């Protein structure tokens, strides 16, 4: 089972940078081994930002959390 803290600790690494631009990546829910996140701020509506964050953050989560399954951007 993946814990909220584990996911937050990974998100926390990029959060200050995103917040500096008035955005954020919010952890909405942890379901089993998957995390649901929401982008807020200026980049929230940008499909490119969704794509890059989606791929990059998921990869980072998989690298650092052994059982991590999937990242869902809601």
Partner 1 sequence: MKAPGAFSPDNVVVGHSARMRAIFDFVKVVSKSDSSVIITGESGTGKEVIANLLHHSSSRRHQPFVAVSCALFSENLIETELFGHERGAFTGAIKDKPGRFEMAQGGTLFLDDIDDVPLSMQVKLLRAIQNRTVERVGGTRSINVNVRVITGSKRDLKKMVAEGNFREDLYYRLNVLPITLPPLRERREDIPVLTDFFFKRFARERGIETPDVSSAVRYAFSRYRWPGNVRELENACERIVQTCTCGTVRTGCLSASVLFGAGDPVAAPSTTELTAGEPTAVSLEDRLREVESNLISWALKVSDGNKSRAAELLSIKRSTLGDRITRCGLQEAHHAQAPAADASEDEPIAAIA
Q: Which residues are at the interface with partner 1 (CB under 8 A)?
A: 13-18, 20-21, 23, 39, 41-43, 46-49, 51-53, 55-57, 59-60
Q: Which two three-digit tokens encode residue 72?
A: 């869902």
Q: Minimum Å distance from CB 48 to partner 1? A: 4
**H or E element in which residue 70 lies:** strand 70-73
Residue nearer to partner 1 on the CB measure, 30 or 71: 71
Q: Minimum Å distance from CB 61 to partner 1? A: 10
């Amino acid at each position: 089972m993946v814990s909220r803290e584990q996911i937050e600790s990974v998100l926390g690494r990029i959060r200050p940078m995103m917040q500096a631009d008035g955005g954020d990546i919010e952890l909405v829910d942890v379901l089993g081994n998957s995390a649901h996140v929401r982008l807020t701020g200026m980049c929230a509506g940008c499909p490119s930002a969704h794509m890059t964050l989606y791929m990059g953050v998921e990869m980072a989560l998989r690298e650092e959390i052994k059982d991590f399954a999937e990242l869902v951007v809601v």
